[in-house]
Chains A and B, each alone.
Chain A
Amino acid sequence: MGIVDSPPGYVTGGEIRFRGRDLLTLGREERRRVRGTGMAMIFQDALSALNPVMSVGAQLGEMFQVHRGMSRKAARAEAVELMDRVKIPAAASRVGDYPHQFSGGMRQRIMIAMALALEPDLIIADEPTTALDVTVQAQVMDLLAELQREYHMGLILITHDLGVVADVADTIAVMYAGRIVETAPVHHLYRAPAHPYTRGLLDSIPRLDHKGQELYAIKGLPPNLTAIPPGCPFHPRCPLAQDICRSERPPLHDVAPGRTSACHFWKETLDGAR
């Protein structure tokens, strides 16, 4: 979204196409317009993403004033309606409250309201419910799914929680050491992973529906991003690693229609080898 601070973060290459246009070649002004209308972002920590010294009504209203040129009064009315949409009880009487006066789940819903304000085509949600309790997480994810259907928005959900993605995603991309190592439709990925890292992750999480035996544990540690191993970055932890894995970085193979895997031995992995 063009909000990687530079420095320390640089985008050093590549293309990001959104409705056919490469965002990385857009000017600052154009990019700002895309942001907030074309796409919107939801962060993990609503408390640090919202302005603590501005009422939530004013923050929501500002979006309409700046991007839609609405009057202050109209913008406020719009803000109340949005808060209602994300199910903040008694929205009209709470529109003047500050972020810290809301519970964690309510703050997250207010951030969803901010993201929705300009009816974007795409929402990027980075760990949107990680800081929340499960019962509140269920409420927030349910709301997000409902609004997504209603507004026909795309949703990119970034999370470490394999349960949350199984519930909402159509397609999954698994990342390791800064790269995508596998993409697949959700049902295929969980039934038959094509990358040993995905497989290890799925095997290592305990189950709610039965007790199970000793957990499978991926050996070793996640890589240090300043010293990513050569060849396949997963090789020091991979049970299937061969010599070729230490020297040659596996390309993203097409495994099946709509499926890719960055593993030299994706066939064996699909067949259940470990």
Chain B
Amino acid sequence: MEKNGFYSMRTSALRKLKTTMSKIETKNLDLFYGSFHALLDINLEVEEKMITALIGPSGCGKSTLLRALNRMNDLIEGVRITGEVCVDGKNIYEHGTDLIGLRKKVGMVFQRPNPFPLSIFDNIAYGPRIHGIKNRGELEGIVQKALSDVMLWDVLKDKLDRFALNLSIEQQQRLCIARLSAITPEIVLMDEPCSALDPMATQRIEELMFELKKNYTIVIVTHNMQQAARVSDKTGFMLLGKLVEYGDTKQVFTTPHEKQTEEYITGRYG
């Protein structure tokens, strides 16, 4: 009796310890597009205020896994998911999950920059406005902070009413990150955020990610191995819907445990 009580106390303490350690945890996550089995038994732990990279050949399910973390796959008809994704210890696929709250907390940056066809100001103010902030002064403060976060404030402070789609691609992507930071998420999911950018712009976005890491937990999908090696603390290697290997970036790139990982990072899959 007493032993049992002690045991359960210990496990709950353990569980607590664990949830404070990992911001996101997937448990036996399987995903089907219709009859196509796109994710197989994924168990991934993402730690707070770190950059976690997902690498793997195109079509292996990186985007699918990323989109499972804020339930963006719900938009696609015929998707079926089993298993759990816990954010801060709470399963987001549980019935009755507040999707709006979830996505405010777990934001997403897409492969192609997708600003709205509005002014720079209105792009950033879009989220805060819908979430109830009407006061102009307050919005101005938010816009300034968000643009400063992505190091665009000095460049754009006099051009806030310009049309956002006239910015360079790099600035558009930064704007999208700023738009997200304006609603102060805790986790930022990035799906190949640099694939539309040139090498210099890519480097600057990577520097930005180091800055963002101080405040956000970042999960980035990339098919660029060098990028993963440069920016991330943890790396997961995926192949055909499976998470083949997951560990510290250094370890994955220097002493991979799995043969397939080694083959991939030495360039045998291309």
Tell me if chain B binds chain A: no
